[in-house]
Amino acid sequence: MIAAANADGVIDEEELNRTLKKLETMDLSDQEHSFIVKELFSPARLEDIVTQIKLPEMAKMVYAVSLLAIEVDTGAERAYMKTLAQQLSLNESDLKDIYLTLGINKY
């Protein structure tokens, strides 16, 4: 989520608030919460995230969570999502399924 929010090089106030609000609903340890807040101010690179994804279902989940984290409304964000899909080896059918499942009609 954090890397997606930073796709355009800036985590804006809306993206920051959306992420922090989501954190409030999660049952996290103090250590996990601190890690996420730290990541908000120093996001991981896409390449670092992708190398950690080993299973197709995890790849779909990472893409879906990234999609939920941002309003894909800039060229940089669209490019980020396209690159993410490519690096996660998601095909057109996978992407359509993700958008359908999330109820997003913009695909």
Residue pLDDT, tens place only, 56-105:
999 998 899 888 878 888 888 899 899 999 999 999 999 999 999 988 88
Per-residue pLDDT, 66: 87
Q: With contact defined as beta carbons under 8 Å apart, do 19 and 2 qualify?
A: yes
pTM of the complete model = 0.69
Kind and range of the H or E run holding 57: helix 56-69
Query: What residues contact residue 95 under an 8 Å CB cut-off, 6+ apart?
Result: 63, 85, 107
> Does residue 95 lie within any of the structural domains?
yes
State the pLDDT confidence band at 107, using cuts at 50, 70 and 90. Answer: low
Domain containing 7 equals 2-102
Listed residue (66, 83, 64, 63) closest to 75, CA to CA:
83
Unique residue bearing structure tokens 């057109």? 92
Q: Does some domain include residue 107? A: no
Is the pLDDT at 45 greater than 90? The verdict is: no
- Domain membership of residue 44 (yes or no) is yes
CA 65 to chain centre: 5
Average model confidence (pLDDT) across the chain:
85
Q: Number of folded domains in the chain?
A: 1
Query: Within a domain: residue 72?
Result: yes
Asked whether residue 58 is assigned to any structural domain, the reply reads: yes
What is the distance of C-alpha 14 from the center of its chain?
15
Q: Which two tokens stand for residue 36?
A: 């996420």
